[in-house]
Structure 1
Amino acid sequence: MGNKLKQNLRMLCLLMMTLIVQGVWAQVRTVTGMVSDGKDPLIGVTVQVKGNAKVGTITDMDGKYTIEVSSPGTILVYSYVGYQTTEKMAGKNASLDVVMKADDKSLDEVVVVGYGTMKKSDLTGSVSQLKAEDFKSGSNLSAQQLMQGAFAGVNIAQNSGKPGGSTTIRVRGGTSVNASNDPLYVIDGVPIDASAGSGQSNISTYNNDFFDQESANPLSMLNPNDIESIDVLKDASATAIYGSRGANGVIMITTKKGKAGVQQLNYGYSVGFSTAAKKLDMLSGDEYRKVCTDLGLPLNDGGENHNWQDEIMHTALQQSHYLSFMSGGEYTNYRASLSYNNNGGIMRGARNESYSGRVNINHSALDGKLKFVLNMNYGETHSNQAPTSSTVGSEMGTSMLYEAYVFNPTLPVYTSDGDYNDVRPYRVQPLSYIDELIDKRNNKRFIGNLKADWNFYKPLTFEVNIGYTNNSQDRNSYISKSNLLGENSGGRVTVQRLKDYSKLMELILKYNQQFGDHRIDAMAGYSYQYFWNEGINTAAYGFQSDEFKWYNLAAAKTIESITSYAESNKLISFYGRAN
């Protein structure tokens, strides 16, 4: 009797499991439908199951779709660029048609263009925008790195792995054969020259210069936390307002302002580490000995085992601090910020330290008809550069990285006298570059402008913009007389001083009027900008002691070269635009 009862229970359980499985399979079904805007079908609409990104499809050329749902309570999400995201419950319907509404809000968003703003719906040129909420996350990102991969047709490449290194930006490729292909930067209405402070075209390079001439980052003084939006003007109709300067595209950066009724104090801190992603596979000391023995090569065996890549590289610490305060009332709003960044390089001896401060003040009077805007930003960068490459080239064709690849792995770091163990007169010990080749750079940059808008008659606004920029770069480099590279010359020193500034005055008259379903947006302006650029470069060699460095050039046996220059130019423009 007991066995029969157990058998009946097994049959009952099997029957219940079969019914459950059939019930589950019965719930999985196919839903079809069409997506349209009320008139025409929409092609390429994304249809997904809410909460499960793996289940989805897109509409075909006729706006139709097919998707499987697991239950009547499944929510389907319909998304399409320029339209409001729509959600529908599958229910028990086998067919589900959806009408999507245009996202008018996105069309009403304001985009910054040359000497003004414009609604997206009114744009006639190619302009892309990136807002603060869309910025990529990460520590110590520069303004250029925020744009990387965010704009179609804008290619951004890091020139080197050095901390604070510059970047190359090309908007829709290079367009010039023998002139600069850099875009024009405009920060809060003030044009910035990307090549300012480099002095490369005017300063003669010292022979056997083992330090590269990489130009300073033009946006290094701008903290990404201060940026409200980045707009990129790409085509001729969008950039023509800036004349020939806009031929390679225009990158317009708008910084954050204070808001009425908002008081906010923010502090941010980040810390990170950087290390080499990959190192070359080198011969160990034992492998090097074996190769020399097998090939019958002479071996200078120092009895040690070094991977010189590990000796010159390390895990570097990066940290940043950011403090901002904003407040606003009925008539006056302001925002101020301070930032500090300290980035170590993975090459020993490389470091970049920067400070920056920004103040933005907005004030309105005459019931909002008269507005004043003051923007000021100051930044300093202090860096120690590791000589990882030799751009000029020497008779030895050496660099810190190159020596790490070819230097004898069996030799000790130091000789018995405590000096770096060079292989004279051929090879330089890689670690000697850290102490015996010094490259210090200090950059200071100020940018500020004062704007006044007077809406003296309802459709007419008169605008005045006064701007000023100042940039300086001090660079001191020294090759020790105790180093193989400077031994024959008794030590080599190069001193470089570069400075440039610009003054800007703009007068703009704007007209904006609505006529029923039509609107006219026009402007006419006059711009005057004065540029001054100067620099001096001195090279000397032959010192009695390494203690002198660049502090006493008179102690040098020979002043090899002194180069100086000064130049100025003016840019006077008349421009207009009508939409």
Structure 2
Amino acid sequence: MIEKIRQQSNYDFFYIKDNLKSAKPVDIQLNGVSVEEALKAIFANQPLGYELKDRVVVIKTKPRALIPALTPVFKSVDVGGRITDQAGVAIPGVSVKIKNTQRGTVTDADGKFQLSLIKGDVLVMSYVGFQTKELVYDGQSTIEVIMEQTNNALGEVVVIGYGAVKQKNLTGAVVQVKGKDLNSSVASSFQQTLQGKAAGVEVIQPTGQPGAGVTVKIRSNPSFANAGVLYVVDGVPVNDAAGQPHLGGSVGGARYVEDGVDKSPLNFINPNDIESVQFLKDASAASIYGARAGAGVVLITTKRGAEGKAKIEYTGSYGSQQADKMYPVFGEQDYMTQRNLLKQEIWYRDNKIAPYYGNVQTGTVTPYTPVFTPSQIDGASNNNPSAMDAIVRTGYTQQHNLSLSGGNGKTSYFASGNYFDQKGVIIGTDYKRYNGRLNIDQIVSDKIKIGANIIASNSEADNTVTGGQNENGGIVTAAIYWAPSVPLRGPDGSYPLSPYYPNIPNPLSYATVTDKTKSTRLLTSAYGEWTIVEGLKAKGSFSLDQSNAKRSSYFPTTFLYGAQANGSASISQSDSQSKLFEYTLSYNKNLSEKHNLNAVAGYTYQRTDTEGFNAGNQNFLSDVTQYYSLQSGQADKPTVGSSKGQLTWASYFARAIYTYNGNITLQASIRRDGASLLQRIRNGAIFHLYLLDGYCLMKRF
């Protein structure tokens, strides 16, 4: 039909051949009509439309009409709600979470929230000082919830910096999460278990690799001028650990500086050993920790022994994991079709073909030649596994935890051991960890108390590069750019490259790369406490935090960048040792029936020594030796480097909390920090804050 109109009218037609496949057969007779009338009759009831442009008929697909979607059995709807207390006052900051999911939100200043819900969802609402409440969504358009206050919570003791106070006497923003509320069965780090547990706390894990680092932000923390949240475990700051070493050598160091392999330095803490986690969220609460508390403070309190018979506990779990959703990519047949269309569009542009790119007619230039012939496309299939499917697998996590605790009134103890094993869903990612912990507290006399704590951890990880950009983007990027028309493995077992992106490695070849990280950490601490008089105590403590991380890698000749260097090996290592001395004098006493004073003053000194080393070589005779024989490489200039650093903190601090009648609290805190980062240790900065806060008890008459 198109050819007949072209012959009789001298009109030219512009169209994409594949679009004509959807056209319906036409059986029509027309005599003595114009071209416009003929086109209107031909394209009636067709899925195609047309447009006339200077004696050129452009055929294109019609926009698809929106088809009302069938209402599914389970349809999610946006539901708004409001949470108030028993007096009808809105409660801001309430955590509203859908049970057994990671979806949730918090209420705004008016106590309002909005969530996408399905009928039958169970909402869990929690807030400090109120009873946790569960509610089943039954399809209502709005949700009104009244939360009841928990009087017991007001009397609960909450750990703050260098002491503890009752919940009702808190003046700063402090949120507590109990250890029993943390889902430790599938997490390598306790940070992962904090998601959705505290309002105003954002937990982000940039990569899903087993043992990967986690970023915790308190109240969004918009500043880029800090080193992140300060973590304190049983009174010991633990941020100065040996970090994950970067890939070394001329290949890994140059291409994968941002390698997406960031192991959490807090993996040494067994989540099962945690008694509670406190978030010091504002300046009032965190000022006692000074300069390093700019992004907030996370206090971790571990379990200790209690008086009673020895108690043995075992917990274990096993679970499988699968990638929930990966980036969608074309199947082989669709890829061939799109590759042809892309080349055809480039042909139109380069030859300035009318009507979009110029005035050149198609018959006056070299004909377009497709990349793939119709027979090749017809012989292809969209059902073959894609490169994205090839790089994922079924993973698992398992852990076993054994603990022993007890005490006799003067001596209490707690010992635990943990084994954690995770097989990642991305090929080449695994993580194993062994933890051991022991603490003991001894009452020597009615005035003297001593104690010690030991945490030991050893871990091994297999890494796969997932970060970076462009050709250095890692295994996921390589799978996205892979051409489905090329087999992932050659007949000889080799790993071919995509002809369209020859600078990107074959995604399956990442499995042949050896990249291992071994980490050890030993945190020991001891203290002695002397009760001078009733309410007045002096305490001295010492801790030693030793950590080591070693990363060994080898890029074989089966991997693109390894082939370019004829094999590339490297070893990187980082060591850290941190010593902490603390001396405090505390006073806590009811001065009279209505007056209470809780005060503490102290001095702390911490010195951290770090060392680093890396070496690399390439051009090996064989892949067999990997990184075990760096000296056998024959690079023109092998890489080698080392580093050393020292950081010292010396600080004085004081805090006083005065409570009147149990419901009015005045708190003042001051701290002076000196650091070797400044010119001299005596050059310090003073952090101080005075806060007046009131709390009124409700009474019935």
Query: What TM-score range do you get, normalising by the shorter chain?
Result: 0.7 to 0.9
- Counterpart of 1:479, as a letter, is F
RMSD: 3.1
**Residue 311 of structure 1 corresponds to which residue in structure 2?**
390
How far did residue 292 of structure 1 move?
A: 4.6
Q: 1:572 aligns with which of 650, 666, 681?
A: 650
1:420 aligns with 2:495: yes
Residue of structure 2 equivalent to 1:19: none
Contact kept in structure 1, 2:173 and 2:281, CA below 8 Å: yes
Alpha-carbon distance change, 504 to 481 in structure 1, aligned in 2, over 3 angstroms: same
Change (3 A) 1:500 1:427: closer
Q: Note if 1:434 corresponds to 2:507.
A: no
User: Counterpart in 2 of 1:504?
Assistant: 580
CA contact (8 A) 2:229 2:293 kept: yes
Q: Deviations over 1:269-324 (max 9, x none)?
A: 11111111113333222333444566544359797844111111111121111111
The answer on whether the counterparts of 1:529 and 1:570 sit within 8 Å (CA) in structure 2 is yes
- Deviations along 1:166-186, one digit per CA (max 9) or x if unpaired, are 011111223533442x11100
Partner Cα separation in structure 2 for residue 199 and residue 162 of structure 1: 16
**Inter-partner Cα distance in structure 2 for 1:403 and 1:215:** 20
The CA deviation at 1:442 is 0.8
Assess, with a 3 A threshold, how the Cα gap between structure 1 residues 101 and 519 changes in structure 2: closer, same or farther.
Answer: farther
- 1:521 aligned residue (591, 598, 615): 598
Q: 2:371 aligns with which of 278, 291, 298?
A: 298
- The equivalent residue for 1:31 is none
Distance 1:80 1:151 in 2: 8
2:497, 2:257 → 1: CA distance? 17
> 1:217, 1:370 → 2: CA distance?
38
Please tell me the residue identity of whatever aligns with 2:255: N
Residue 103 of structure 1 deviates from its aligned partner by: 4.6
Match of 1:532 among 594, 609, 615: 609
The Cα shift of 1:417 comes to: 2.6
Structure 1 segment 137-176 matched on structure 2, within 5 A: 138-140=185-187, 142-176=189-223
Aligned: 1:479 with 2:562: no
Match of 2:353 in 1: none
Q: Shift in Å at residue 194 of structure 1?
A: 5.9
The residue number in structure 2 matching 1:550 is: 627
Cα deviation, 1:100-121, whole Å, max 9, x if unaligned, reads 9975432221111111111112
Instruction: Give yes or no for the alignment of 1:330 onto 2:376.
Output: no
Query: 2:461 matched to which residue of 1?
Result: 383
Q: Name which of structure 1's ranges 402-411 and 417-426 shifts more when overlaid on structure 2.
A: 417-426
Give the counterpart letter for 1:467 in structure 2.
S
What are the superposed Cα offsets for residues 53-75 of structure 1, whole Å, 9 maximum, x if unpaired? Answer: xxxxxxxxxxxxxxxxxxxxxxx
Instruction: State how far apart, in whole Å, the 2-side matches of 1:422 and 1:432 are.
Output: 10
The letter for the 1-side match of 2:371 is: P
1:446 corresponds, among 519, 522, 525, to 522
Q: 1:244 to 1:201 in 2, by over 3 A?
A: farther
User: More deviation in 274-283 or 510-519?
Assistant: 274-283
**Aligned residues of 1:203 and 1:564 also touching (Cα < 8 A):** no
TM-score, normalisation: structure 1? 0.78
Alignment-derived partner of residue 419 in structure 2: 340
Cα distance, 1:198 vs structure 2: 4.2
In 2 relative to 1, CA 241–173 (structure 1 residues): closer, same or farther, beyond 3 Å?
A: same
Q: Do 2:248 and 2:571's aligned partners in 1 also have CA atoms closer than 8 Å? A: no
CA contact (8 A) 1:188 1:375 kept: no
CA distance in 1, matches of 2:575, 2:438: 24
C-alpha distance 243-383 of structure 1, shift in aligned 2 (>3 A):
same
Q: Is the 8 A contact 1:511 1:521 kept in 2?
A: yes
Q: How does 1:48-447 map to 2 (within 5 A)?
A: 82=129, 103-136=150-183, 138-140=185-187, 142-180=189-227, 182-193=228-239, 196-198=242-244, 206-209=253-256, 212=259, 214-292=261-339, 295=344, 296-299=369-372, 305-367=384-446, 369-389=447-467, 391=468, 393=469, 396-423=471-498, 425-435=502-512, 437-447=513-523
Q: Is the 8 A contact 2:538 2:585 kept in 1?
A: yes
Cα 1:210–1:399 change in 2 (3 A) is: farther
Q: Which sits farther off after the overlay, 121-130 or 138-147?
A: 138-147
CA distance 1:105–1:303, shift in 2 (3 Å): closer
Task: Choose the corresponding residue for 2:564, options 473, 476, 488.
Answer: 488
Is the 8 Å Cα contact of residues 185 and 194 (structure 1) preserved in structure 2? no
Determine the structure 2 residue equivalent to 1:29. none
Sequence identity, in percent? Answer: 32
Q: What is the SS of the residue equivalent to 1:193? A: coil
* Cα offset, 1:461, TM superposition: 0.5
Q: In 2, Cα distance between the equivalents of 1:303 and 1:427?
A: 24
* Aligned 8 A contact 2:249 2:617 in 1: no
Moved more, 477-486 or 163-172: 477-486
Change (3 A) 1:145 1:260: same
TM-score of the superposed pair, with normalisation by structure 2: 0.65
Contact kept? 1:414, 1:421, Cα under 8 Å: yes
For structure 1, the 5+ residue unaligned runs are 1-34, 46-78, 86-99
d(CA) in 1 for partners of 2:127, 2:565: 69
**Residue 572 of structure 1, CA deviation:** 1.1
Counterparts of 1:83 and 1:273 in 2: how far apart (Å)?
A: 36
Query: Do residues 457 (structure 1) and 533 (structure 2) align?
Result: yes
**Distance in 2 between the 1:42 and 1:80 partners?**
16
Residues 404 and 414 in structure 2, CA contact (< 8 A), matched pair in contact too? yes
Shift of 1:452: 1.5
Letter in 2 for 1:249: G
Shift of 1:201: 14
- SS of 2:396's equivalent in the other structure is strand
The answer as to whether partners of 2:403 and 2:414 remain within 8 angstroms in 1 is yes
Number of corresponding residues: 490
Partners of 1:419 and 1:80 in 2: how far apart? 58
Q: Do the aligned partners of residues 347 and 297 (structure 1) sit closer, same or farther apart at CA in structure 2, a change above 3 Å counting? A: farther
The 8 Å contact of residues 195 and 215 in structure 1, kept in 2 or not, is answered as no
Tell me the distance in 2 between the aligned counterparts of 1:258 and 1:520. 29
The amino acid of 2:477's aligned partner reads Y
- What SS does the aligned partner of 2:642 have? strand
Counterparts of 2:586 and 2:621 in 1: how far apart (Å)? 67
Distance 1:462 1:326, change over 3 A: same
Q: How far does residue 134 in structure 1 lie from its aligned partner after superposition?
A: 2.8
Find the aligned partners of 1:323 and 1:404 in 2 and give their Cα distance.
Answer: 41
In 2: Cα distance, 1:434 partner to 1:83 partner? 51
State the SS of the aligned residue for 2:507: coil
CA distance in 2, matches of 1:492, 1:417: 23
Structure 1, residues 486-517: CA drift from partner, whole Å, max 9, x if none?
22211122210100010111111111121221
